[in-house]
Amino acid sequence: SQVTWSHAVNSRERLQAAVTPTSSTMMLEADVILSYSKGIPVMAHPPSTDSNLTLEEFLQISLGARRGVKLDFKTLEAVKPSLDILASKSQHFIDVPVFLNADILSPSCVNKTAVDAKKFIQYCTELFPRGELSLGWVSHSSPESHARECHRNGHLQWETVHEMASLCKPLKQSVTFPVNVRVAYQNLEQVKWLLHQSTRYSLTLWVYYQDNVPLKDLVYLYKDLINEKVYYDL
């Protein structure tokens, strides 16, 4: 069955639009940061530093509407207070999917800092063990410049793939690995090797909003990964 998403639900206005009775949205994806002015987790994507929607409000409304959520953590400092809030509402998540996402590894060709892998995993497993982990690699925010070549040729370096496998091996939770479609197309050997390390693993294929991925590439990926557990966020 097809799962419908609303992305970047980082304001009250976008949240209300996504949960109206006429909305077909099943899953809400939103970014979480720690507001320094409020001292609590809010829904915003850097460089924004605040929001008119707190995590507490986001969860209250999304749960009331029976929508699943994917929380994308941009910094480690937002993780623990956010998971404390999630844990306090755990009785409401019995039949609602919750994905906890962070980019925890950084390829050598990407000059951006990853969220601390061991601490993120530790917080998630200890404070909200029923959440499904979504663990990825830091990428450029733009598909332009040398970022595209970095993604195609170096984003899934074997070194970082083996590191990801090592980090996830002790886990009991399900794990999905978000990978850009172009990256997956150029690094299928690494992707399939990682997925075969455990039946708990899945792949989430996604695209940049500016990406113009050839249909033949998507068809090739679909056919080649037909026997794998794959989410398509396109």
Beta strands in the chain (DSSP E): 5-6, 27-34, 41-43, 68-73, 98-105, 132-137, 175-180, 201-206, 230-233
Q: Write down all domains in the chain, each with its CATH number in brackets.
A: 5-232 (3.20.20.70)
The closest of 125, 126, 106 to 114, measured between CA atoms, is: 106
Quote the pLDDT of residue 150. Answer: 59
Task: Note down pLDDT in tens along the chain; length 234 residues.
Answer: 478 999 999 999 999 999 999 999 999 999 999 999 999 999 999 999 999 999 999 999 999 999 999 999 999 999 999 999 999 998 877 788 999 999 999 876 776 789 999 999 999 999 999 999 999 999 865 444 445 555 555 468 999 999 999 999 999 999 999 999 999 999 999 999 999 999 999 999 998 766 778 889 899 999 999 999 999 887
Please state, rounded to an integer, the average pLDDT across all residues of the chain: 90
- Residue of 51, 5, 46 whose CA lies nearest to 26: 5
What would the DSSP string read from start to end of 98-136? EEEEEEEE--TT--SPPP-HHHHHHHHHHH-TTSEEEEE
